[in-house]
Amino acid sequence: MRYLRGTWMRGGTSKCWLFDAADLAGGDPDAVLAAAFGAGDPRQLDGVGGATSTTSKAALVQRSATPGIDVEYRFAQVGIGARRVEWGSNCGNCATAIGLYSLLTGLVPARPGHTTVRMRNINTGTLLAATVATPGGAVPESGAAVVPGASDGGVPVELAFLDPQGSTTGRLLPTGRAVDHLPVPATLVDAGAPAALVDADELSVDELIALRRKAAVLMGLSEQDDAIPKTGMVCPPRDDSHDLRIRMLSMLAPHPSVGLTSAVAIAAAAGVEGSVVHQALGGEVPRVLRLGTPAGVVAVRAEWEDGVLRAVRLDRAARRIAVAEISVPLALAS
């Protein structure tokens, strides 16, 4: 039996297990995580996983040697009913949790007032910053901040995606155009993640999936990867609680709210004149853009400097659920 110390956090609408990267060195981290989570079983009955995509997540966290970066992390999507771990993406909700975790564990010292944890996601190279109110240098353990899609309150964490444009393709507009015709008008944008944002209200999931494939080709992405481009519909608001109404896909099914990297892409597209997002806003881009999702309103703030997107900020919440010593069955993790 191998014992693995982990911290279980809720970040936004996800549950993530955070580990000290050093504790998984010198072995096969895929095998250890799969065994710890009970990944081989479709109910993850024999481990710490939650048996849904948003509750089967982990990250390996370590101090960074890079100047200006406090911590680095590798995000792991752990299999459900398959002893497999995917390392291809980032998770903004886990990043929110890692920000608070870094302060709670002393990995990053808290200062009086506010403390910002600067992070690098190793999987994608994305830079992020999490800022937490730390009055008198004390780190809060609980709070009342609620995000759409979660019922309970957590510690407020401002999460910023830094210099997010062109994160995957190198260009904010991979096709060089604000609108492509697929034939439905769509804006193909790359910030936080590549996204295909469609000027539509009532497309079926099948129509969106077909459109998604065309967008992938135009953006130079693989048609086989279900994770990107993020795809969804953008249209004018129904009421004044929000500025835009959005409906995204998640792994080829309707997303219950909106992924954070998708929110970043939408905020980026809002700043591109002539894009379907800019048009749905009637050409008026508010400083705080309120996205109306099925679960509620998610607010994003984009910061442009000389036509370059410097940051996109979101208000999130996080909480430490437990600190644990996990028993990892040796036969599976060796």
Please identify, using beta-carbon distances, which residue of 52 and 222 lies nearer to its own copies.
52
Q: Give me the residues paired with residue 244 across strands.
A: 291
Cis, bond preceding 183 (omega within 30 deg of 0): yes
**Among 275, 277, 257, which Cα is nearest to 266's?**
277
Closer Cβ to its own copies, 276 or 298, answer by number: 298
Distance separating alpha carbons of residues 299 and 14, to the nearest angstrom: 18
Residue type, 4: L
Q: Which is nearer to its own copies, 187 or 257 (CB)?
A: 257
**Does the footprint of its own copies cover residue 315 (CB under 8 A)?**
no
Of residues 46 and 86, the one with the C-beta less far from its own copies: 46
**Enclosing H/E stretch for 278:** helix 276-280
Considering the complex, what minimum distance in angstroms separates the CB of residue 152 from its own copies?
4
CA quadruple 183, 189, 194, 198: dihedral, nearest 10: -40
Q: How many residues bind its own copies (CB under 8 A)?
A: 40
29, 47, 92, 148: residue in contact with its own copies (rule CB under 8 A): 47
Determine which residue in the list 28, 152, 223, 225 makes contact with its own copies, applying CB under 8 A.
152
CA separation for the pair 23, 61 (Å, rounded)? 10
Among 66, 142, 241, 334, binds its own copies (CB under 8 A): 142
| Helix, coil or strand: residue 92 | helix
Residues 174-193 binding its own copies (CB under 8 A) are none
Q: Which one of residues 22, 27, 28, 52 is an interface residue with its own copies (CB under 8 A)? A: 52
Residue 94: closest CA among 316, 325, 300: 316
Please report, as ranges, the residues that interact with its own copies according to CB under 8 A.
1, 6, 8, 10, 13, 15, 38, 40-43, 45-48, 50-52, 54-55, 141-142, 150-154, 319-327, 329-332
